[in-house]
Amino acid sequence: MNSLVNDYFTNIKNLLDQILSTQNKNIELAADIIADAVMADGWLYVFGTGHSHMIAEELFYRAGGLVRVYPILDTALMLHEGAVKSSALERLSGYAKCLFDDYPVTAKDAILIVSHSGRNAIPVEMALEAKARGLTVIALTNLSHSQAVSSRHSSGKRLFEIADVVINTCGEIGDASLEVNDIKIGPTSTVTGSAIVNALIIRVAEIFAKNNFSGEFFASSNTDNGEVKNLQYIAKYKNFVRSL
């Protein structure tokens, strides 16, 4: 294996170690928020734009994943209908409120907002809108990047300045972690973000067990018993969660 590939895997391992050593408290706090919401008959909403939307999908309808996850998946903010357009929309004020108005959020719920830079209008407004509606806000963001840039929202705030709990992905400014001929390559936020959100769900499951709460978790639909179990959850929530 060539040296840069080795370097990339070393970077990922070091980042995961750094996250475990520095973000454990905030992961614990976020897991408490999620568990409390679900035990109170609420939901965990998840939102991200661009590549960050993949973290929302990672939490949704996942083998070993929490059932009561409601992803806010807006195709215009993803990449498959126009990457440049999605970047432009991410900076558009007012769009977040339109999204929120289209989902059945309540003050019982929590929301996880994912944004590497945390500077653009949509993630900032999602956090502000969520707080205004009584939701607890968890941010998954890169503090090194976010603290190094100005906000693109009229409030002047970045995501980490609004959220109730902030989990730092601990990566590079600009995300790419390696360099070849002055070209930055090797982004890390999807790997670390996926690890963090799955760690959150693991901790939530532990909290449920400690409280003798029978939490709902998806199994793999590619196992016979798992598919039967999942179909029961789908039947229960299909009319509520549009993405099911």
CA distance 243 to 130: 20
Residue 223 lies in a domain: no
Instruction: Provide Rg for the chain, Cα atoms.
Output: 18
Write down the pLDDT at residue 112: 98
Q: Which residue has the tokens 């002047």?
A: 156
Q: What is the residue range of 109's domain?
A: 3-218
3-state secondary structure of 27: helix
Residue 228 lies in a domain: no
Q: Which of 167, 172, 205, 196 is nearest to 68 (CA)?
A: 205
- The model carries a pTM of 0.93
User: What size, in residues, is the chain?
Assistant: 244
Residue 49 lies in a domain: yes
Residue 243 lies in a domain: no
Write down the pLDDT at residue 155: 92
Residue 240 lies in a domain: no
Structural domain total, the chain: 1
Write down the pLDDT at residue 83: 56
Write down the pLDDT at residue 88: 59
3-state secondary structure of 22: helix
CATH of the domain at 178: 3.40.50.10490
Q: What are the start-end ranges of the H helices in 154-210?
A: 189-210
CA distance 22 to 40: 29
Q: Are 193 and 52 spatial neighbours (Cβ–Cβ below 8 Å)?
A: yes
Write down the pLDDT at residue 226: 85
Q: Are 109 and 44 spatial neighbours (Cβ–Cβ below 8 Å)?
A: yes
Write down the pLDDT at residue 26: 98
Residue 227 lies in a domain: no
CA distances from 77 to 57, 69, 85, 95, 234 (A): 13, 19, 8, 10, 26
E-strand spans in 60-215?
69-72, 110-115, 136-141, 165-168, 176-180, 183-187
Quick count: other Cβ atoms within 10 Å of Cβ 18?
15
Residue 32 lies in a domain: yes
CA distances from 29 to 25, 34, 77, 138 (A): 6, 9, 29, 9
Residue 145 lies in a domain: yes
Please give the average pLDDT of every successive group of 10 residues along the chain, which has 244 residues. 88 97 98 98 92 88 96 71 58 77 94 92 93 96 94 91 97 93 94 97 98 96 88 96 92
CA distance 100 to 129: 8
